[in-house]
Structure 1
Amino acid sequence: MLHPSPTYPRLPEAKRSESKQLRATPLHPRLGQRPLARKVKAILRPPIKAIYYLVTLIRSHKWLSLGVVVIFLATATVTNYALTGEWPLGIAKDQFNFHINGGSGGGDKVKDWLYALRDGDVATLRMLQSTLQMAQPPDPAELVSQYSEKQTNLVWQNIRVIGVYQQSDTTVDSVVSVSLGARGPGGGTSGFMLWHFTTLPQNGGLLLYIHLVSFRNALR
């Protein structure tokens, strides 16, 4: 007689270790590889290379580079003097050059008139005032007797152009301040004169109007 084989309880199968799924980590571009960085580098690369090659050229050709620099500075200086009549750093600067249409704008006539008044030169004042358009031009002899160093105790200490303006009719208005000192037995005093001139730039500059705006003592 056959007996069935005994049955044993089935043991649970060991769970297979689940394979871990690795997440793909996105690769971020480096800072220098980003589109904006590439554009910036593309813009800056040519000038940086140019500076590098220029420095290399200067180091290998020192005398040639020095000559080029000297020629450049000389050309710039001559051009500036031709256009403005001034040297670099204000050397030989003429404040009476009003720089109107490439000329002095009549500033030379203003300067000549003021210096003639200071020196008491009546003849020069009359000649310069021959172009005035005023109904009653100032009398040169009277001006000399009141404001010149020659016939008064006044000392002209400083002459300064404080304003220049070209009008729409091409005339030029300028205002000049004169600092004065006075000698006297009671001690020295000081004061100021303020003159207004109207000039015409054409024909080398012509005086049209002259007005004494102010003549006063300095505040103490």
Structure 2
Amino acid sequence: MISPSPTQQQPDRDVKPEPKKVKSTPTRKRTGQTPLALFIKAIFRPLFKGIYYLLRAIQTHKLVTLCVIVLLLGSIVATNYFSTGQLPLGVGNDPFNFHVHGKNGGGDTVKNWLYALRDGDSATMSLIDKAISQPPNPDQLISQFSQTKAHLTWKSINVTGVYPEADTTIDSFVEVDLSATGPGGNVSGIMIWHFVTITQTSELLLNVNLVDFRAPLR
């Protein structure tokens, strides 16, 4: 005997499957959003804004900006000149202006003596040496070191040092680069002089001596 098959229950169509839960991974902060980056932005943002608005103002008011720059440069030049007696970039700079106590410091006397020696002017050297207790013989120095008698070429004169002393005297050192023409070609030399000057009512040369006279090291 064949028994009838049991009736199958139909699935409930009204029951919906539960949706799958998708776990979201936390997004990583960008570099510009980190606390350190925000701190740096807070510091530099006002500076950059100020530069930006300054450039905008310069573009808008070009004439005013030019006048401000000229006045600023003029004040810098004037301050430098009145404090040191020199113009910027060495313009009008006199190496024989020793700038001691706001005065020349005897630099002109040193310069006149050296140029007289170079040109073989013994009379000028004797007049400048009047304050020296035992002055050197001008004619002897001229025969040894002048361009006219010793046939030397004075290439350059450089003040290497100026030292004010407590007794109001001023020690200065001057280097002279020399050259001469020999049978085998040009010969170079270095001459260093030491001067002692004083500036009271007038500039006086108190002492002068030759420190060194030699050929430069090769």
TM exceeding 0.5: yes
Secondary structure class of the residue paired with 2:182: coil
In the other structure, the counterpart of 1:166 is 164
- Deviation at residue 66 of structure 1 after TM alignment: 0.5
Tell me, what secondary structure is at the counterpart of 1:136? Answer: coil
Residue 71 (structure 1) aligned with residue 71 (structure 2): yes
- The Cα of 1:117 is off from its aligned counterpart by 0.6
What are the superposed Cα offsets for residues 173-217 of structure 1, whole Å, 9 maximum, x if unpaired? 111111111123443322111100111133353211101111123
Quick check: 1:209 aligned with 2:202? no
- 1:6 alignment counterpart: none
Give the distance between the partners of 1:98 and 1:117, measured in 2 at CA.
20
Structure 2 residue corresponding to 1:191, chosen from 189, 192, 216:
189
Which whole-Å CA distance do the structure 2 matches of 1:116 and 1:80 have between them? 33
Could you report, residue by residue, the CA deviation over 1:154-174 in whole angstroms, capped at 9, with x for unpaired residues? 111111111111111121111
Aligned to 2:134: 136
CA distance in 1, matches of 2:53, 2:197: 55
**Cα drift, residue 57 of structure 1:** 3.4
Equivalents in 1 of 2:117, 2:87: separation in Å?
29
Output the amino acid matched with 2:145.
Y
SS at match of 1:103: coil
1:55-204 matches, cutoff 5 A: 55-132=55-132, 135-204=133-202
- 1:59 CA drift (Å): 3.0
Q: Which has the higher contact order (CA 8 A, sep 6+)?
A: 1
In the TM superposition, residue 75 of structure 1 has moved relative to its aligned partner by 2.7
| Letter matched to residue 180 of structure 1 | L
**Worse-matched range after superposition: 75-84 or 142-151:** 75-84
Shift of 1:55: 4.1
Q: Which runs of 5+ in 1 are unaligned?
A: 1-29
TM-score by length of 1: 0.71
Q: Which amino acid aligns with 2:91?
A: I
Please give the per-residue CA displacement for 1:121-148, whole angstroms capped at 9, x wherever unaligned.
Answer: 112111211222xx32112222212211
1:102 CA displacement: 1.4
Question: Which TM-score applies when normalising by structure 2?
Answer: 0.72
SS in 1 for 2:178: strand
Alignment RMSD: 2.9
- Supply the distance in 2 between the matched residues of 1:49 and 1:202 (Cα, whole angstroms): 59
